[in-house]
Amino acid sequence: MKFKFRVIKQDKKTNARVGIIETPHGYTLTPAFMPVATCGAIKGLTWDIIKSLGYRLILSNIYHLYLRPGIDIIEKAGSLHKFISWDYGPILTDSGGFQVFSLSDFVKITDEGVEFKNHLDGSIRFLTPEDIVNFEERIKVDIGMVLDECIPYPADYEYTKKSTLRTLKWAKRSIEARKSKETALFGIIQGGIYDDLRELSLKETIKLPFEGYALGGLSVGEPKTIMYHIIKKFAPMLPYEKPRYVMGIGKPEDLIFAVENGVDMFDCILPTRSARNGTLYTTYGKINIKAAKYKEDFTPLDPECNCYTCKNFTKAYLRHLFNAQEINSAILNTIHNLAFYARLISNMRKAILEDRWEEFKEEFFSKYSPDFLPSEWEEFLKKD
């Protein structure tokens, strides 16, 4: 089976939509949030837990897999799916563009590719757009992101323009390098904070026969007003008949805003990393489980959550585990945060299908953040 995508239903008043992605390794419904399995694993959890939470599409990172265990090892195992024993659905791999620029203390970017210092052993490596496509096809991932140059914030106009044009060149070379019909490729829209460069990147990238398109270069330190502006203006401009992906955003309010503006896919380390640091997402907002006020709180973490953590343990016990630095703390917290995100995404899909998107938003925010209602988004954007 080749990669397929279709929209099942769109909200009557907004761009929010439900779709289905079909791949050689199964399907996923959209909107979809991808748990981040950077090195082929989600910290603290086994795959049976991830399956039980309802996730089908997961994300891994080609940069990290290339450094260890190495593409050759995974290829010899038969595929990334077989190597990590993920048999429940598709895998998307990020190209590692962000990691190259953020983890290495030496990076040299040219039109040919990127030279960088391996953050693990200090060796000098060089990767091209063609290398990334080759790696993704060799390990048989369902969706491969092409190599792009990650633009930092802030960045001046001339630097951003040069970087954006380079990403376009790399996108064209990535299409030319593809050999497999099993691995879908997604193009990435760059352009930083500049509308004209974003529009240029979008118009040129969607001319290329990618199976999906992503808005990149967001959640890199820019004010939220800028991020919201870019999503609101450019996500609906991406082809209707193909998946739309915003890379790296993960706050619940950001996901809802993006879905309302036609985005289908997301990934972020926020729920898993926050869980390990003691920050937990609940129906009634974020809590810091380390806080002293939970020392004698023998109530469930989230009374409206049905996950293993909430059904079996109290806030007092979860606080104790965290303060005692028990491994179970990270496990139970991660189970809950990923359950919260799975429920949020599922509720969004259900609301769209049942024509009650506005009701969903009002209900969610009235509990999660009573001081911030969706009606304030327009005023929020005007501050940009």
Rounded to whole angstroms, the Cα distance separating 378 from 222 reads 18
pLDDT of residue 380: 60
Average pLDDT over residues 236-243: 98
Query: Percent of the chain scored above 90 by pLDDT?
Result: 89
Average pLDDT over residues 207-219: 97
Indicate the class that CATH gives domain 4-268.
Answer: alpha beta
Give the tokens for residue 333: 């917290």
Which residue carries 């990172």 as its tokens?
A: 61
pLDDT of residue 100: 74
pLDDT of residue 96: 84
pLDDT of residue 105: 73
**Digit-coded pLDDT (tens) for 93-135:** 999 878 877 766 788 999 999 998 888 899 999 999 999 999 9
Q: How far is CA 31 from the centre of its chain?
A: 11
pLDDT beyond 80 at 5: yes
Average pLDDT over residues 178-183: 96
pTM tops 0.85:
yes
pLDDT of residue 374: 63
pLDDT beyond 50 at 384: no
Domain ranges of the chain: 4-268, 275-382
User: Tell me, what DSSP letter sits at residue 305?
Assistant: -
pLDDT of residue 377: 67
Average pLDDT over residues 333-354: 98
Q: Give the pLDDT band (50/70/90) at residue 43.
A: very high
Give the Å distances, CA to CA, from 328 to 293, 295, 325: 21, 17, 8
Quickly list DSSP for 228-291.
HHHHHHHGGGS-TTS-EEETT---HHHHHHHHHTT--EEE-SHHHHHHHTTEEEETTEEEETTS
Query: Which of the residues are catalytic?
Result: 94, 267
pLDDT beyond 80 at 186: yes
pLDDT beyond 50 at 373: yes
pLDDT of residue 102: 76
pLDDT beyond 80 at 330: yes
Give the tokens for residue 60: 């891994």
Q: How far is CA 153 from the centre of its chain?
A: 19
Strand partners, 244: 213
Average pLDDT over residues 6-17: 97
Q: How many CA atoms lie within 13 A of 369 on its CB side?
A: 13
Query: Percent of the chain scored above 70 by pLDDT?
Result: 96
**Digit-coded pLDDT (tens) for 282-314:** 999 999 999 999 999 999 999 999 999 999 999
pLDDT of residue 64: 95
Average pLDDT over residues 350-379: 86
